[in-house]
Each structure stands twice: as structure tokens, then as C-alpha cells.
Amino acid sequence: MNNSLTIIGAGAWGSALAIALSDKFDTIYLITRDEQYSENIGSQHPALSKPFSPNIKIGSSYKVIQKSMAVLIATPSSSFLDVLKKIKDDINQIPLAWVSKGFDPDSGSLLHETFNQQLTSHYPCVISGPTFAAEIVEKKPAAIVVASIDKNTREFWSNIIQTKTLRAYTNSDIVGVQVGGSVKNVLAIAAGIANGLGFGANTQAALITRGLAEMTRLGVALGADKLTFQGLSGLGDLVLTCSDDLSRNRRFGKELAKDIPSEIALKNINATVEGFKALQLVLKLADKCKVEMPICEHVYKVTQGEITPKEAVTELLLRKPSDE
């Protein structure tokens, strides 16, 4: 049996997974966006503490897919559709999953809906959870969730992704897992703003719990299981992303707390901030589903320069009292 894996996307997360899984495969093909990037990345991703293993082959050609037993997409959500279009003629029956978090920016849909439109022969499968790339590379214990409506698909990928230090759980709720992985990035921006303003643990706890309520309301309205949001891709990922500066979204929020424009804050982060990209799409879905998401709404207002970070906090606190 062919013991090679292809990972599409050589950002920090794709590169970290390649390194973490290199002991399990004879060869891992790590596909970059172009040949120039392949040359620039060299022997080690700049955001990671460990170099690429010798069996990780880096390049920009998609032809290696045909040599692989499975393919994992690890690009930003904005590139997800383009990747599917590039591989759909070559993927055949090769198992395919993704670790991308966010929405399709063109349609505003969850990624499994985009997947279903492009690849009718595969069950969609998403891998998500509270994992920082830097810690996965250092083999610090972590847990992740593999979601698909098809039992065989999620069991296959849980066996692929699990290592001695990364435990994989499975879930059939692909909608809930995706909503959790996307909305938590928006809420992490709020947590970063609060931290940047000098607020403490009380504020952090309130943001996480009320943010979880917003995430759950939207997920349930979209057909997700409420219990999913108590798991790794919901509460787990939310706590992680809101609590540590390894999160780009949290760091972006801290920049916004300086009352600077979003464009400058993004430039200071110098990395993809999925929460910023997801903001408008989350609120469009919330409006369509008639779901209240006040924290997300105020983060959006701050990013658009409509209100200052301090004004956002004041407006949230002065809202009419309501049942928890």
C-alpha cells in the first residue's frame, strides 16, 4: 500500500502537520502556492521551531497527489475553492479532508457546502480543534476532532491524524465543528481587544462564556448539535484562541485596542487573520438566521472604524439586561 500523504498548503499549520506526521509516512508531499514560495521556505518554516524532516518533499506541483494515499487541505479558507478546482480531476477516489477554518468568501457558505458542489464522489471531512501549530511541532500533548457524516471517513482520518502526542476524536456533526472553528476566530479578536485595553480575568471569562452562547445560537440555527459546542471544536478552541498570543486573531485584537485602523493592525500582524475575513460572513448568516451576536457585531463595528474599542465595551455593557 502506498504510504505517502499530500498536504496542500505550506503555511504554519500545514507545515506543522507535515512535521508532526512525518514519522507515520514514507513521504509527505507539502504543496506550496508557487515555486518561488517553495524555494523561499527552505528547510524550516519561519514560524516553527523545528526543521522539515528529510522525507517531507516541498514543491508546487499537484501531480504528486496521484502518488498519495490521502490528501489534506491546509490552506486559508479563501483559497479552498481554488484548490478543489485544481485537484478535482486528479483526486479520483483518494481520501480528502481539510483543516481550513472559515467560510467560502464568494458564497458565504460553510466549506463542506463548497466541497459538495465540487466533489460529489467524496464525503466531506473537516479536522478542527484547539491546536497551535508551534506546540504541535514541539510534540506537546493536544487533542483534535475529525468530523464527517460518514463513519468510515472520520475513522480513516482519525487514524491518519492521531500520533503519540495528538489524540483524535470523531464527530458526525460537520456543521457544528465548522461553525465553532470559524466563529471562535472572531471572538478571539474581541478577547484581544479586551486584553489590549488592560481588562482582566473577569472580562476574559465573560467574553468566553457569552461568546460561546453566540457561537452556539448560530450553530443550532444552521442545524448543528448544541452539544458539539461543549467539545474540542467549540469551547476547547474558543478558550485556546482567546487566551494566548500565539493566536493571530487575539494579537490582531490587541492591535485594534490601540485605536488604529484595521489595515494598519493587519500589517502589524503580517499573517492571515481568519477572524477578520470571517466577520462579515458570520454576521450575514446571523442576520439570515435571525440570531443575535452582539459581541461579533461590535467587533465588526470596531474593525470598520464605526466605534472605538472603548465605545464597543460601553455599548455592550449598557445593553438591556436579559436572561442568561
Contact 193, 258 (CB under 8 A): no
Residue from 50, 151, 184, 284 carrying the catalytic annotation: 184
Nearest one of 84, 10, 18 to 54, comparing CA atoms: 18
In DSSP terms, 170 is beta-bridged to: 146
- 209 residue type, one letter: T
Longest dimension (CA), the chain: 62
Residues 6+ apart with CB under 8 A from 72: 5, 6, 7, 8, 14, 17, 96, 97, 98, 99, 127, 160
Work out the number of other CB atoms within 10 angstroms of the CB of residue 22.
Answer: 19
Separation of alpha carbons 295 and 214, rounded Å: 8
Give the C-alpha separation, 249 to 242, whole Å.
8
CB count within 10 Å of CB 34 equals 9
CB 266 within 8 A of CB 276: yes
Residues 6+ apart with CB under 8 A from 285: 108, 218, 222, 291
Check: CB of residue 110 under 8 Å from CB of residue 284.
no
Phi, psi of 118 (to 5 degrees): -95, -35
320 is catalytic: no
- List the one residue out of 273, 94, 133, 112 whose CA is nearest residue 178: 112
Could you give the residue numbers annotated as active site? 184
